[in-house]
């Protein structure tokens, strides 16, 4: 029997002693117990409200969680719910329930549009956004003041001028840190592509990695920042995000692109942080990069109704805000975002909250994105390296991505 009733997840389940198995990622980078406590408290409250539905939670590190869920699925032992980094392969293999098979209509309609767009495959929502983030330009206010810089850059040219001032007047180690190393080069790349009016895909959703705008962006980066020796002692292709962030917290970086968790880390070490929307070629970039992690319901065990009941509970504002707040991340629903924006306790996240609704996410709905992303991580640094050619590097990456997409 085909299940197609929208909003069917509002029922409290069959009450026949169903146990849902949930695998979730550990967000506590300090090695603490915050993720375990969140899920323990959440499931205890859920079970009290829903007799007959139990939830067993297994927490895995981010280094392992995607692999372990994949192993479970291959072994025919899929969890009922997985909170991981990607959903596309499972959706393409028809292993997931769609949102309208699980969630009540109010919950479905409450997600921020850029996040639901990214969670769709063939116009059907399978990847439910669990938590989100976006990126801003971070700058060290003390270094700016020492260099005689009175305001944050609003254009590429101003960013270059500020980097030159930082190098000339403060001899800062990294006037602008450009992490194009293999850890997260696909994110840094996308930020710059968006600021140049391009992106990974065109208006029809097709790969356009070697578009004229993208090539021009990387030519500007190479000529004006890298070749001008404004990006520090480590070649961008060898600089990982983690190391760039650590250098910022030590006061060694004038500017870099960062996410909300860096804000707290830098302030803990006494860095006076300024944030501003990423500059574009001639003014503020048209869009910021958004990022989301995903939660999904697997079909294998047939617990569609119970999964929907749990997910409706999970996406209540208080639960969304609790998890986002404790991890310096952004809520994924319209109502929770509005609550956070009006909460003085989260005033430092205001700029991030402002740009998230208009953000653009990577093309995570393509099963080919995993290989394309890995290609970018490994090779994009060549585009700005000695003797590098942005046109040549972007063209090869684009051709491989298109070939992988054609094979989907």
Which one, of 279, 235, 282, lies nearest residue 257 by Cα?
A: 279
- The CA-atom distances, in angstroms, between 345 and each of 185, 190, 327, 340 are 32, 30, 14, 8
Mean pLDDT of 226-246: 96
Mean pLDDT score of the chain: 93
Residue bearing the bigger pLDDT, 27 or 390: 390
In the predicted model, is pLDDT for residue 113 greater than 70?
Answer: yes
pLDDT at 91: 97
Banded pLDDT at 62 (limits 50, 70, 90)? confident
152 vs 141: CA distance, rounded Å: 9
For 145-191, the pLDDT digits (tens) are 999 999 999 999 999 999 999 999 888 999 999 999 999 999 999 99
Structural domains in the chain, sorted by start: 8-133+291-357 (3.40.190.10), 136-287+368-406 (3.40.190.10)
Taking the alpha carbons of 238, 240, 244, 250 in that order, is the dihedral positive or negative?
negative
DSSP string, 86-102: --HHHHHTT-B--HHHH
64 vs 397: CA distance, rounded Å: 27
In the predicted model, is pLDDT for residue 13 greater than 90?
Answer: no
189 vs 209: CA distance, rounded Å: 10
Dmax (CA) of the chain: 72
Strand residue runs (E) in 235-350: 253-258, 273-276, 290-297
Edge-to-edge strand order for the sheet containing 253-258? 174-176, 253-258, 136-140, 273-276
pLDDT at 9: 36
Mean pLDDT of 252-275: 93
pLDDT at 286: 83
In the predicted model, is pLDDT for residue 16 greater than 80?
Answer: no
174 vs 291: CA distance, rounded Å: 25
Mean pLDDT of 338-365: 93
């Amino acid at each position: 029997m085909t299940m197609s009733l929208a909003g069917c997840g509002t029922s409290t389940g069959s009450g026949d002693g169903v146990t849902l198995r949930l695998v979730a990622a550990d967000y506590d980078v300090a090695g603490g117990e915050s993720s375990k406590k969140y899920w323990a408290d959440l499931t205890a409250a859920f079970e009290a409200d829903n007799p007959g539905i139990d939830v067993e939670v297994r927490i895995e590190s981010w280094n392992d969680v995607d692999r372990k869920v994949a192993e479970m699925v291959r072994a025919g032992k899929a969890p009922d719910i997985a909170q991981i980094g990607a959903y596309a392969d499972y959706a393409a293999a028809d292993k997931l329930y769609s949102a309208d098979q699980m969630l009540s209509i109010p919950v479905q309609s409450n997600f921020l549009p850029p996040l639901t767009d990214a969670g769709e495959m063939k116009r059907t929502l399978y990847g439910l956004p669990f938590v989100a983030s976006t990126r801003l330009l971070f700058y060290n206010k003390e270094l700016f003041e020492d260099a005689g810089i009175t305001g944050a850059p609003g254009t590429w040219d101003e960013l270059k001028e500020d980097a030159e001032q930082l190098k000339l007047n403060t001899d800062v180690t990294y006037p602008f840190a450009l992490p194009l190393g293999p850890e997260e080069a696909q994110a840094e790349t996308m930020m710059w592509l968006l600021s140049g009016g391009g992106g990974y895909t065109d208006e029809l959703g097709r790969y356009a990695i070697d578009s004229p705008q993208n090539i021009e962006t990387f030519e500007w980066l190479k000529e004006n920042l890298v070749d001008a020796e404004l990006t520090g002692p480590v070649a961008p292709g060898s600089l990982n995000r983690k190391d760039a962030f650590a250098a910022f917290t030590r006061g060694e970086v004038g500017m870099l692109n960062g996410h909300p968790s860096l804000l707290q880390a830098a302030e803990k070490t006494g860095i006076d942080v300024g944030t501003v929307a990423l500059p574009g070629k001639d003014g503020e970039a048209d869009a910021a990069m958004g990022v989301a992690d995903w939660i999904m319901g697997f079909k294998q065990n047939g617990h569609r109704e119970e999964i929907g009941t749990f997910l409706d509970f999970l996406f209540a504002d208080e639960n969304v805000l609790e998890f986002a707040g404790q991890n310096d991340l952004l809520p994924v629903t319209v109502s929770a975002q509005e609550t956070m924006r009006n909460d003085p306790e989260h005033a430092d996240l205001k700029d991030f909250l402002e740009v998230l609704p208009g953000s653009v996410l990577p093309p995570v709905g393509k099963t080919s994105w995993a290989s394309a992303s890995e290609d970018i991580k490994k090779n994009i640094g060549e585009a700005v390296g000695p003797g590098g050619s942005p046109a040549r590097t972007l063209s090869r990456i684009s051709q491989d991505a298109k070939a992988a997409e054609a094979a989907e």
